[in-house]
């Protein structure tokens, strides 16, 4: 907690910045005056949540594409559920 925590006031609100003490620490930036996404290390934080995110199963939420990865061989199987033909019964 010895690291500086900077809160700057601007006309419309506040900016908050903080940087940890580790050698790889990145600056955390929060604009409290509007709806700007926070930044870590100069890059905006993404709130997009993956539907699947593990070493063997990956897929972005709503994409319809899932990648299966075999643990030992590392082979990949990509399943695209957007290309499945749908029929009414």
Residue ranges per structural domain of the chain = 5-44, 50-83
Instruction: Indicate if the pLDDT at residue 89 is higher than 60.
Output: no
Q: Classify the phi-psi angles of 42: left when phi > 0, otherwise alpha if psi is within -120 to 50, otherwise beta.
A: left
**29 has a pLDDT exceeding 70:** yes
DSSP 3-state of 76: strand
pLDDT tens digits, residue range 68-81?
999 889 899 998 88
**Three-class SS of residue 81?**
helix
**Element housing 60 (H / E):** strand 57-60
Report which of residues 76 and 2 the model is more confident about: 76
Once rounded to an integer, what is the mean pLDDT over residues 14-30? 87
pLDDT confidence of residue 86: 60
Nearest CA-CA partner of 40 in 22, 28, 58: 28
The model's pTM: 0.49
């Amino acid at each position: 907690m010895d690291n500086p925590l900077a809160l700057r006031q601007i006309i419309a609100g506040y900016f908050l910045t903080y940087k940890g003490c580790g050698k790889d620490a990145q600056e955390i930036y929060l604009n409290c005056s509007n709806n700007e996404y926070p930044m870590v290390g100069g890059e905006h934080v993404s709130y997009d949540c993956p539907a699947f995110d593990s070493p063997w199963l990956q897929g972005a939420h709503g994409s319809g594409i899932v990648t299966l990865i075999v643990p030992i061989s590392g082979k990949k199987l990509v399943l695209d559920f957007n290309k499945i033909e749908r029929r009414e019964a």
